[in-house]
């Protein structure tokens, strides 16, 4: 291959730039030119006024400067148009026109589906799991997950310091979509006493009882870490009515939030529980050493696979080593939630 492309797609994750740098280094080493495709699959559709907003030749010097930066230099987006076959055909003709012979796709499971479609249309693709969520079963860690967990642990430590000063509990929401892994590791890493995740059914009453027990035994400043997807596994409770009875104005169609949960816990335990949603701070950090290492090895392996004519693969970590397997096999694997760690956090 003489020319390859690279794109970042879906939610950004720390380490995406480092992976692009590794791809750029490996491409140069093997004498290939590299095209950066902008805003995920959108770039392949070439709809911008200026071509460099869609596809641009990447010069290694620029990439070296951004390798340690958080975010993604190539920009990222979700591209619903790519679900339409006629748009994918249009993308393939643009890719051919640019002389791109293979693509490194850095993103999560949605991006992998796009990569499989491109492979079926004759464009070899290799995926790198760029998402903080750690929701891909075939890899021990996704790229950005370690940084996101470290970011949460730092922030929860800060919250616990002020909780301690005021002797009051904290309820902290972390990201992860439908996956509780960020919550689990962040809770374990920060010494949080209660963890709520989408994988395990829970009730507000049970959390309130546990918090009340902690307060009883002399810990009035416990931390509850809640995964953003945990509302899906919450047992039904008429919390709208409960809050109204306690003088809080809520509409029947208001969804439950971390702030509401903190209020309910406050009424049930009489402790001043305070909410914090960590949000995008988890995605915008400088990549950890672990993520930078993974990005480096994954990026260079991706280029090696493409130059050897091996497409339709994704890269992951198994037994601490970087490896690859076919995309379809990777997507078939079922995630196994670490229930014993969950039980440990919630029981000790
Ligand atoms: O998939 C990564 C992620 O950060 C999730 O944890 C979160 O639910 C989602 O993206 C947020 O996406 P957006 O950037 O569209 O708000």
Give the position of tokens 């740098």.
21
For the domain made up of 146-283, give the CATH fold: Rossmann fold (3.40.50)
Report whether pLDDT(60) > 90: no
pLDDT at residue 50, as a whole number: 86
pLDDT at residue 277, as a whole number: 98
Strand residues in 10-139 grouped as ranges (E): 33-37, 55-57, 103-107, 125-129
pLDDT at residue 267, as a whole number: 97
CB atoms within 10 A of CB 165: 9
Q: Distance, CA 216 to ligand 1 centroid (Å)?
A: 37
Q: Where in the chain is the domain with CATH 3.40.50.450?
A: 3-144+287-332
pLDDT at residue 62, as a whole number: 81
Q: Where in the chain is the domain with CATH 3.40.50.460?
A: 146-283
Written as six digits, the tokens of 182 are 């960020």
Q: Coil, strand, or helix at residue 7?
A: strand
CA 42 from chain centre, in angstroms, equals 20
177 Cα nearest atom in ligand 1: 8
Q: How far apart are CA 71 and CA 86, in angstroms?
A: 31
- The reply to whether CATH 3.40.50.450 applies to domain 3-144+287-332 is yes
Report whether pLDDT(346) > 90: yes
Mean pLDDT of the chain, nearest integer: 96
What is the average per-residue pLDDT within 300-319?
A: 97
Report whether pLDDT(264) > 90: yes
Q: Is 132 in the pocket of ligand 1 (CB under 6 A)?
A: yes
Please state, for a pLDDT cut of 70, what percent of the chain lies above it: 100
pLDDT at residue 34, as a whole number: 97
Q: Which contacts of 59-65 are long-range, i.e. CB under 8 A and separated by 24 or more positions?
A: 60/24, 60/25, 60/28, 63/17, 63/20, 63/21, 63/24, 64/21, 64/24
More confident residue, 316 or 59: 316
Report whether pLDDT(126) > 90: yes
Q: Is 133 in the pocket of ligand 1 (CB under 6 A)?
A: yes
pLDDT at residue 65, as a whole number: 85
Report whether pLDDT(315) > 90: yes
What is the average per-residue pLDDT within 33-37?
A: 97
Residue minimizing CA distance to atom 3 of ligand 1:
11
pLDDT tens, 3-32? 999 999 999 999 999 999 999 999 999 999
pLDDT at residue 51, as a whole number: 83
What is the average per-residue pLDDT within 130-137?
A: 98
* pTM of the complete model beyond 0.85: yes
Report whether pLDDT(61) > 90: no
pLDDT category of residue 59 using cuts at 50, 70 and 90: confident
9, 76, 133: which to mutate for ligand 1, most atoms within 8 A of CB?
A: 133
Cα–Cα distances in angstroms (integers) from residue 232 to residues 259, 312, 317, 322, in the given order? 16, 33, 29, 33
pLDDT at residue 67, as a whole number: 86
What is the average per-residue pLDDT within 279-288?
A: 97
Residue minimizing CA distance to atom 15 of ligand 1:
11
Please confirm, yes or no, whether 154 is among the known catalytic residues.
no
CB-based burial of residue 97 (10 Å sphere; 0-12 exposed, 13-18 middle, 19+ buried)? exposed
- Measured over the CA atoms of residue 161, residue 173, residue 129 and residue 92, the dihedral's sign is negative
Written as six digits, the tokens of 5 are 């492309």
Q: Is 131 in the pocket of ligand 1 (CB under 6 A)?
A: yes
pLDDT at residue 11, as a whole number: 96
Report whether pLDDT(64) > 90: no
**List 133, 135, 146, 291, catalytic entry:** 133
Q: Name the helix (H) or strand (E) containing 115.
A: helix 109-120
Residue minimizing CA distance to atom 8 of ligand 1:
177
């Amino acid at each position: 291959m003489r020319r390859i492309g690279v794109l970042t797609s879906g939610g950004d994750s720390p380490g995406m730039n480092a992976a692009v740098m590794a791809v750029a280094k490996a491409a140069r080493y093997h004498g290939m030119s590299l095209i950066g495709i902008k805003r995920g699959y959108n770039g392949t559709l070439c709809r911008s006024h200026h071509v460099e907003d869609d596809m641009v030749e990447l010069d290694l010097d620029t990439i070296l400067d951004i390798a340690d930066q958080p975010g993604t230099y190539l920009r990222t987006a979700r591209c619903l148009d790519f679900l339409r076959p006629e748009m994918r055909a249009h993308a393939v003709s643009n890719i051919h026109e640019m002389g791109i012979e293979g693509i490194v796709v850095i993103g999560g499971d949605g991006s992998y589906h796009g990569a499989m479609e491109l492979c079926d249309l004759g464009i070899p693709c290799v995926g790198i799991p760029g998402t903080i969520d750690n929701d891909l079963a075939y890899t021990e860690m996704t790229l950005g997950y370690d940084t996101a967990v470290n970011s949460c642990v730092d922030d929860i430590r800060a919250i616990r310091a002020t909780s301690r000063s005021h002797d009051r509990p904290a309820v902290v929401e972390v990201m992860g979509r439908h996956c509780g892994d960020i919550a689990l590791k962040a809770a374990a890493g920060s010494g949080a006493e209660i963890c709520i995740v989408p994988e395990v059914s829970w009730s507000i009453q049970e959390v309130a009882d546990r918090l009340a027990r902690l307060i009883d035994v002399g810990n009035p400043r416990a931390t509850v870490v809640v995964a953003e997807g945990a509302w899906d596994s919450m047992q039904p409770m008429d919390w709208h009515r409960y809050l109204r009875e306690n003088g809080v104005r809520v509409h029947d169609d208001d969804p439950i939030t971390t702030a509401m949960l903190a209020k309910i816990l406050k009424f049930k335990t009489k402790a001043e529980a305070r909410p914090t949603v960590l949000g995008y701070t988890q995605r915008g950090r400088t990549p950890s050493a672990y993520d930078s290492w993974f990005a480096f090895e994954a990026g260079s392996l991706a280029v090696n696979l493409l130059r050897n004519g091996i497409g339709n693969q994704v890269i992951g970590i198994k037994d601490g080593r970087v490896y690859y397997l076919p995309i379809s096999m990777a997507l078939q694997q079922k995630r196994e939630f670490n229930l014993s760690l969950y039980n440990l956090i919630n029981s000790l």
